[in-house]
Amino acid sequence: MRLPLRLIPITNLLVEKKLGRKLVQAPQVMVQLTNNKKLRVLNLLKKKMGEKLEEKRRHIEEKSRLTGNFCRAHEKTVGWKK
């Protein structure tokens, strides 16, 4: 997929299309992208997404540890397990 050198809006839509999920509020900026730059931007967004997911997971883990319904095997909250 070769894109010519031109202005491409990095919007939530583009992020959603590339990364599959709309977890990152991408700034509505116009960036002149070569393929290389595009990859760099997307990697940055992926990294941000990963941090957000990690934060969310940690939060769920902490919350569920307090309530007692945390099953480490599945790395998510499931029913009441002791």
Q: Is the pLDDT of residue 1 over 60?
A: no
| All structural domains of the chain with their residue ranges | 6-77
How many Å apart are CA 62 and CA 22, to the nearest integer?
A: 24
Name the DSSP class of 49: H
| Two tokens, residue 20 | 């599959």
Quick one: three-class SS letters along 11-41? CHHHHHHHHCCCCCCCCCEEEEECHHHHHHH
Question: pLDDT (tens digit, 9 = 90+) per residue, 16-26?
Answer: 555 555 444 44
Question: pLDDT (tens digit, 9 = 90+) per residue, 2-49?
Answer: 544 444 455 555 555 555 554 444 444 434 445 556 666 667 777 777
* Residue-level pLDDT at 7: 46
How many Å apart are CA 78 and CA 54, to the nearest integer?
A: 18
* Residue-level pLDDT at 23: 43
Which is higher by pLDDT, 26 or 55? Answer: 55
